[in-house]
Amino acid sequence: MGSLLIAQFFLPDEGIGKILIDINSPSVQKINIAIPDFKNYSESGEHPELSSDLTKIISNDLDLSGYFVPMEHEAFIDEDGPLLTSDNIRFKNWSVIGAELLLKGGYTCVGQNIEVVVRLYDAYYGNQLMAKRFLGKVDRYSSLMHRIGNEIVFLLTGYEGIFLSRFAFVNNSTGHKEIYLCDFDGGNVQRITSDESIALLPRWSPDGETIAYTSYKDGSPMVYLHEISSGKIKRISDRKGLNMGGSWMSDGTKLALTLSFDNENQDIYLIDLSGKILERYTNHWGIDVSPSFSPDGTKMAFVSNRSGNPQIYIKDLKNGNEERLTFDLKYCTSPVWSRLDKIAFTAMNDGHFDIYTINPDGSNMRRLTEDEDNSEDPCWSPDGRYIVFSSNREAGYHLYIMNSNGQNQRRISYLKGDNTSPNWSPSYFME
């Protein structure tokens, strides 16, 4: 895993206030935040385009969080003067247009380096809530702004932000299915495989350094590990028959995957990173696929057709008991277990696929998407408060994120071709 060097400094406070957003409330009241374009304080005016670019990134992050409503700029007041003092800010003029928070920012570019200063205010009372300075590289300013977004979310909610996390996903724009990466907001797209075949099911390791995936590049489906920092690829399962999928255990040293051994029955096994089989998890005449571990590693959700149509089951890894979880839907697949102990999955309903959530005991099943098109491949955010998924609701498959209750569904991918099978990185991942 690479790292982005960001130095962070605290500026003198003018009386810190606090607005707390209760993100555990059934209905979160969004906060209107005004974010004027960042001021360029570079001596020779380098990179004037960043004035609006920095604003767009932080506005988009806060919008995607579902906790804020970035306001339109048409009603903004033009205010000049020193950034580091509030004397020139007419807070009444901001509050009268509906702003509850005001974020003021400026930047200075020197060579390849950039310094960004931000101050966050309560627009009604004029209290300063945050004052910080960040240092980074000009060519990586987007990651710096994601960091600032994280700071704002943590200040106002008490929970870590996830704007520095990334997605791995599958795209077929080259005519083949390859694995790609992108930032939380869909930017900074990077292709990491050139198999010129079919690459599927990317899965981040818990430390964010490696992606496990399945590829047909050598003729049949095999499981590979791709090291992000070096680009090195290692094949770890090439047995005859099916080698498919991969769910990491929390210690990052083992994977659960489906093997068929020369077209025999498909069951779930646990292997280490050398490919050695450590344990057989399922042994049934039905097809067992798509393993996902519980947060404490004591249980595993998986899909099986042992009852006819594919349904989701829970296996207790301590005593070996297996119980069916879903009953009311005809076709259920792709279970993923969140750190908050919820399971998201895909199910067919009314002739198309939608995303659902359910408790591990089978209670409180909820349908989160209700489109005439398909919504598939759910994956939880590192904090368990968001879900990324793929949908063909807008001419081809694209990636969308939504809150865990199904609200604030937003498209984030615009890469040509179909974008499918998203997987969310750990929250601390940096490019």
* pLDDT tens-digit readout, 306-335: 989 999 999 999 999 999 999 989 899 999
CA 295 to CA 316: how far, in whole Å?
A: 13
Please check whether residue 161 is in contact with residue 152, taking contact to mean a CB–CB distance below 8 angstroms.
yes
* pLDDT tens-digit readout, 345-398: 999 988 899 999 999 999 999 999 997 799 999 999 999 999 999 999 998 999
Does the pTM exceed 0.85? yes
Please tell me whether residue 277 adopts helix, strand or coil conformation.
strand
- pLDDT at residue 245, as a whole number: 87
* pLDDT tens-digit readout, 66-112: 999 999 998 887 776 655 567 788 999 999 999 999 999 999 999 99
CATH superfamily for 166-424 is: TolB, C-terminal domain (2.120.10.30)
For 302, other C-beta atoms within 10 Å of its C-beta total 24
What residue has token string 């792709």? 334
Please tell me whether residue 83 adopts helix, strand or coil conformation.
coil
Q: What is the DSSP pairing of strand 68-70 with strand 113-122?
A: unpaired
Give kind and range of the element (H or E) at residue 400: strand 398-403
Q: What's the chain's average pLDDT?
A: 91
| CATH match of 7-157 with 3.40.50.10070 | yes
Burial class of residue 150 (count of CB atoms within 10 Å of its CB; 0-12, 13-18, 19+): buried
CA 418 to CA 396: how far, in whole Å?
A: 6
* pLDDT tens-digit readout, 238-258: 999 999 988 999 999 999 999
What does the domain layout of the chain look like in residue ranges? 7-157, 166-424
* pLDDT tens-digit readout, 269-296: 999 999 999 999 999 888 999 999 999 9
Q: What is the DSSP pairing of strand 233-237 with strand 352-358?
A: unpaired
Please check whether residue 167 is in contact with residue 184, taking contact to mean a CB–CB distance below 8 angstroms.
yes
